[in-house]
Structures are given as structure tokens and as C-alpha cells.
């Protein structure tokens, strides 16, 4: 009886060890992860991430969980072709229960998340409450998120144009030349070429008083002839 109890205890320990080893193998081989797992983006830039059900060869027929955002603003979530949703994830309600028709034995993309990077620093996307279900049994609860570096946008320094100092300019006074009397008087070309200013003035005076000069000459001639006749008569 004592030997029987020892055998039963030994068998129980072996079975527990086998089940424990199987559970550890499944947790390490089947998990939910994101792609890309790491990258660098600018603050305010778009970041698209895929959620993938990874398998070590076990059948994965359904996946459930909740998306967790950190320093990322969700814009949209799109299911992959062929994936059926009992509960589809949205930006306002990121929990999901998704089915894979005919189950998957290779890594399968479940959905893509389009988001916008927040402030400079680190950002991440991860999952909580994950359960990968095979044919009526859970085959894994592990998940791996993504960690992203967000860079600040460096604003270019405005280029400054050196100020140009304008030196005061000295204006040269304009000399106005007043036409002389000689330039204003319409003098015949021969007189302008051969006569001095004094001569031109003298002839100008004669021209203005020509009538009186003629009268004086006429009077003098008349007086001359009268005096001559009177002398002859004597």
C-alpha cells in the first residue's frame, strides 16, 4: 500500500511537470505582437502599426485583447482581409474579439492601426487581456508591444538680412544761368560776329533815334545851303 502511494505521487509529479513544460512552451511560441516593434518618427507624424498573431505551429482560431496607446493618438483601425470580428476594435473602444476562418498555423496579421505621434520622447503601443484560442483551448496569453522614439521638430532659424545704413547724400545745388542781354537780343549774325558789345549798343541807339538824326541832318543841310547862298550874294 505504501509503494502504491509513492507511485501515485511520483506519477502526479511527472504529469504536473509535463503540463507545466507544455504550458511554458506554448506561452513562448504563441503570442500577439506588433510590427514594426521599434522605429523613430517626428512629433506629429503618422505611424502605422500592424497587430500580428504569432504561432509556433499551433492552430490559432481566435484572438482577444485590448490595445493600449501611450503618446500616440489613434486615427483609425482597419481589419485585415479574411479576419472576422465578433467585437471590432475602434479608436474610442480598442477592445477586440477576432476570429480567423479555418484557423491559422502561420503568423497572421489581424489589423493595422494608424496613429499620430505625440510629444517628443518615447511612445508605445501594447496589449492587455490577451488570449489566443486554438481549437476549443487557449494556446497563449503572451504579447509584445512596440516602443518608438519621437523626435522634436527643429524649426529652422529665420535668416536675418543685415540692415543697410543709408548715408545722407549731399545734393549739388543747381546753377541757373540767366541769359545775358546779348543772348536775348536778336542781333544779325554779322553784327554778333564782328562787333563789340559797346558798338552794338551804339548802333542800337542810332536805330532807335534814326528819325531825329535824319531831321537834324536835313536841318543842317538846309542851313548849309542858305548860308552858302547868302555868302555868294555878298
Q: In CATH, what number is assigned to the domain containing residue 37?
A: 2.60.40.680
Q: Give the residue-averaged pLDDT of 20-44.
A: 76
Q: Are residues 33 and 99 in the same domain?
A: yes
Tell the burial category of 97 from Cβ atoms under 10 Å away from its Cβ (0-12, 13-18, 19+): middle
Q: Are residues 223 and 120 in the same domain?
A: no
What pLDDT, on a 0 to 100 scale, did the predictor assign at position 216?
79
What pLDDT, on a 0 to 100 scale, did the predictor assign at position 214?
79
Q: Is 63 within 8 Å of 53 (Cβ atoms)?
A: yes
Per-residue DSSP letter, 209: T
Q: Which of 131, 151, 171 is the last residue of a domain?
A: 151
Q: Give the residue-averaged pLDDT of 212-219.
A: 79
What pLDDT, on a 0 to 100 scale, did the predictor assign at position 221?
83
Count of the separate structural domains present in the chain: 2
* Residues composing the chain: 234
Q: Are residues 133 and 189 in the same domain?
A: no
194 — alpha (psi -120 to 50), left (phi > 0) or beta? alpha
Is 59 within the bounds of a domain? yes
- For residue 94, the Cα-to-chain-centroid distance in whole angstroms is 34
- For residue 197, the Cα-to-chain-centroid distance in whole angstroms is 81
- Global pTM reads 0.57
What pLDDT, on a 0 to 100 scale, did the predictor assign at position 213?
77
Q: Are residues 147 and 198 in the same domain?
A: no
pLDDT in tens, 105-161: 999 999 999 999 999 999 999 999 999 999 989 999 999 999 999 999 887 777 776
Q: Give the residue-averaged pLDDT of 7-29.
A: 39
Residue 209 pLDDT level (bands cut at 50, 70, 90): confident
Q: Tell me the three cell numbers of residue 14.
A: 511527472
Q: Is 60 within 8 Å of 111 (Cβ atoms)?
A: no
What is the residue-averaged pLDDT of the chain?
79
pLDDT in tens, 87-106: 999 999 999 999 999 999 99
Domain region containing 105:
29-151
CA distance 119 to 131: 32
What pLDDT, on a 0 to 100 scale, did the predictor assign at position 131?
98
Residue 225 pLDDT level (bands cut at 50, 70, 90): confident
What pLDDT, on a 0 to 100 scale, did the predictor assign at position 218?
82
Q: Is 108 within 8 Å of 53 (Cβ atoms)?
A: yes
Q: Is the pLDDT of residue 168 over 70?
A: no
Is 159 within the bounds of a domain? no
Q: Is the pLDDT of residue 197 over 60?
A: no
Is 207 within the bounds of a domain? yes
Q: Are residues 36 and 140 in the same domain?
A: yes
Is 160 within the bounds of a domain? no
Q: Are residues 37 and 128 in the same domain?
A: yes
Q: Which of 129, 151, 173 is the last residue of a domain?
A: 151
Is 77 within the bounds of a domain? yes
Is 190 within the bounds of a domain? yes
Q: Are residues 228 and 120 in the same domain?
A: no
Q: Tell me the three cell numbers of residue 163.
A: 540692415
CA distance 194 to 212: 27
What pLDDT, on a 0 to 100 scale, did the predictor assign at position 190?
44
Least confident of 52-66, 154-168, 195-209: 195-209
Considering only CA atoms, which of 48, 47, 53 is closest in space to residue 31?
Answer: 53
Q: Are residues 141 and 194 in the same domain?
A: no
Is 165 within the bounds of a domain? no
**Helix H or strand E segment including 222:** helix 210-233
Is 177 within the bounds of a domain? no
What pLDDT, on a 0 to 100 scale, did the predictor assign at position 167?
60
Residues facing residue 42 across a β-bridge: 151
Q: Which of 151, 172, 203 is the last residue of a domain?
A: 151
Amino acid at each position: 500500500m505504501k509503494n502504491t502511494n509513492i507511485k501515485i505521487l511520483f506519477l502526479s509529479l511527472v504529469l504536473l511537470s509535463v503540463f507545466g513544460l507544455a504550458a511554458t512552451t506554448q506561452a513562448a511560441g504563441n503570442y500577439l505582437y506588433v510590427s514594426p516593434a521599434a522605429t523613430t518618427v517626428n512629433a506629429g507624424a503618422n505611424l502605422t502599426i500592424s497587430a500580428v498573431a504569432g504561432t509556433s505551429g499551433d492552430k490559432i482560431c481566435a484572438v482577444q485583447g485590448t490595445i493600449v496607446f501611450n503618446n500616440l493618438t489613434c486615427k483609425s483601425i482597419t481589419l485585415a482581409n479574411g479576419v472576422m470580428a465578433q467585437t471590432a476594435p475602434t479608436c474610442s473602444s480598442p477592445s477586440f474579439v477576432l476570429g480567423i476562418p479555418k484557423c491559422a498555423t502561420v503568423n497572421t496579421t489581424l489589423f493595422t492601426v494608424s496613429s499620430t505621434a505625440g510629444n517628443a520622447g518615447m511612445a508605445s503601443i501594447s496589449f492587455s487581456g490577451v488570449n489566443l484560442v486554438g481549437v476549443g483551448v487557449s494556446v497563449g496569453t503572451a504579447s509584445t508591444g512596440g516602443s518608438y522614439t519621437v523626435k522634436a521638430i527643429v524649426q529652422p532659424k529665420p535668416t536675418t538680412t543685415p540692415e543697410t545704413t543709408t548715408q545722407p547724400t549731399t545734393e549739388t545745388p543747381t546753377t541757373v544761368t540767366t541769359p545775358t542781354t546779348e543772348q536775348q537780343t536778336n542781333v544779325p549774325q554779322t553784327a554778333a560776329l564782328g562787333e563789340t558789345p559797346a558798338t552794338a549798343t551804339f548802333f542800337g541807339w542810332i536805330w532807335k533815334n534814326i528819325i531825329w538824326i535824319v531831321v537834324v541832318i536835313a536841318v543842317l543841310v538846309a542851313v548849309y545851303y542858305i548860308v552858302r547862298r547868302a555868302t555868294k550874294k555878298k
